[in-house]
Amino acid sequence: MFPAAEKEVENMQLLTTQHLETVPTPLAVNSGLHVAIISDGNGRWATSRGLPRSAGHRAGAESARRIIEAAPRIGIRTLTLFALSSANWKRPAAEVNAILRLLHEYLLIETSHCIEEGVRLSVIGRRDRIPATLRQAIVDSEAATAGGKRLHLRLAIDYSAREAIYHAACRFYKVTELSPESFSNVLAEVLRGGSTEVDLLIRTGGEQRLSDFLLWECAFAEFVFLPKRWPDFGVADLESAVQEFGRRERTRGALPDAIAG
């Protein structure tokens, strides 16, 4: 995804070679899953190896690339990745700027690949606080990939679920039809990249919380929390999480058919 000539990337690749998995055989799962991932642990992955935190974010970007490529083959049609939380502005400016540069690089380099692979890219979150160059790259990538049908990739950048719900609520009073469905439509407008119910939420890095991510959409999602840090998360881990999802009984508050019968 990023130029191999960069010394930092070369060092990172040497350290992560042992963690790379080959792409496994596609799973027989229901098509159309919406999987959301809180890709946590990049910085800790790097510091545990004596590397700068920026190296962890680059390693995480490589992990994201593998997951995006594999997702359609295992039945995922919508994939939402938490790239930058609105709360992350509290971090050192150097780290936030490194993440923003990384996102800009991704959009510039990977847009053509998304077009070839039938990936539609959308960005959810605020755009007024990010650099103008990144903002324009988002607009260009969204327009160029709009025809993608195999996978809808949503990147959450400067995103806060509470803030999105608040802004949707501010608009909602103008809607003539008051219903949960119409509120979801308003929320989709606020998010730009749409609002669809999440089937499976995965969080890496050992933490077990939502961290202001897709609160409305995750109302009935299944959660899988993993201690593995995001740069070490591979296609086999994604497969395993989807298999776990398939084993769970999703009643959405109703009784299972076997009991209700």
CA distance 5 to 180: 51
By annotation, the residues acting in catalysis are: 40, 88
